[in-house]
Structure 1
Amino acid sequence: MARAQETFGKKEREKKRLKKREEKRKRKEARKAGEKNDTFIYVDQFGQLTDTPPDPSQKVKIDAEDIVVGVPKKEDYEEEDPIRKGKVNFYDDKKGFGFIIDLENNEKYFCHVSGLLDEIQENDKVTFELEKGQKGLNAVRVKKQ
């Protein structure tokens, strides 16, 4: 009768399994013997990880009511005038777009013909509002001053 073939791979897997079982048994015996296994890690007042517990005298008491979570309401912000003043830097009637420079912060804003209330030309003083567009802020509701 032929005996079962034991390949090299089967023997190696069996050795690994027996080795794991032996390691597990040793760890179990060590726990029963009362060996100290210090797995606690503490954080000191500077945010560093240590193996010693922090000094209770240096503990800082914080009231839960003092903690503010969230974004402050819009009323708390400084109210900004939505109507801005600027000067037309460039405008092309044929293509229907241009750019307006804000007089307060010298930022350039894109302006499309659909956002105009009056006809504008280059170097005109205008008032406008800002809206978020696909590529940034756009000047809308543009009027001559």
Structure 2
Amino acid sequence: MGRSQQTFGKSEREKKRLKKREEKKKKMEARKLDAKENGKKGIEFAYVGYDGQLTDTPPDPSKKIKVKAKTIELGIPKKTEETEVFNPVRKGTVSFFDHSKGFGFIIDSETQEKFFTHVSGLIDEISEANKVLFELEKGQKGMNAVRVKLL
């Protein structure tokens, strides 16, 4: 004859599950009894206010906004081509450039932001403290200065 498949761990888990079920049942009965004694019914109807919170008072119908179903866009909105209004050529100063490693940083004269530049994006030979003209291009870790030339 085979042995029983009931192990100590299984029986302990079953005891815990039954105990949780009993506790849940007791809590539910206590809530029902408390509601009967205090006369609370809870919120019979829940309304969503204009701020997104649940309330027990209905919203003001005069503030209702009519939305056409055709204007609702589901999913990710299509990306539109953004035309840049500002001048793409910027002025700046070379704060650091290492010729042996082939990279450096340029500080924009208007915004004081620091942009990475690589030797492959240079038009003229640059060194530290040079005034330069450059354009920005999206790189892997942010905006990079490209087409860098001396003023």
Tell me which interval the TM-score lies in, with the shorter structure as reference length.
0.5 to 0.7
Give the TM-score taking structure 1 as reference length. Answer: 0.57
**CA RMSD, Structure 1 to Structure 2 (Å):** 3.2
Corresponding pairs, count: 107
Q: Deviations over 1:38-63 (max 9, x none)?
A: 9642234554424454454x443446
Identity rate of aligned residues, in percent?
A: 57
1:95 Cα offset (Å): 1.4
- 1:136 paired residue among 134, 138, 142: 142
Q: 1:73 to 1:49 in 2, by over 3 A?
A: same
Q: Does 2:129 correspond to 1:120?
A: no
Structure 1 gaps, min length 5: 1-8, 10-37
Inter-partner Cα distance in structure 1 for 2:56 and 2:147: 64
State the alpha-carbon separation in 1 of the partners of residues 51 and 95 from structure 2: 54
What is aligned with 2:113?
Answer: 107
Distance, in Å, in 1 between the alignment partners of 2:51 and 2:100 is 64
Higher-Rg member (1/2): 1
C-alpha distance in 1, partners of 2:60/2:112?
Answer: 55
Query: What SS class does the counterpart of residue 120 from structure 2 fall into?
Result: helix
Evaluate the alpha carbon distance shift between residue 122 and residue 63 of structure 1 in structure 2; reply closer, same or farther with a 3 A threshold. Answer: same
5+ long unaligned stretches in structure 2: 1-13, 15-42
With over 3 angstroms needed to count, the CA separation of the structure-2 counterparts of 1:40 and 1:82, relative to structure 1, is same
Which structure 2 residues correspond to residues 10-49 of structure 1 after superposition, within 5 A?
40-45=45-50, 47-49=52-54
Which position in structure 1 is the counterpart of 2:36? Answer: none
Which position in structure 1 is the counterpart of 2:82? 74
CA distance in structure 1 between the aligned counterparts of 2:101 and 2:146, rounded to whole angstroms = 17
Tell me the SS of whatever aligns to 1:114. Answer: helix
For residue 111 of structure 1, give the secondary structure of its aligned residue in structure 2: strand
- Structure 2 partner of 1:60: 64
TM-score normalised by L of structure 2: 0.55
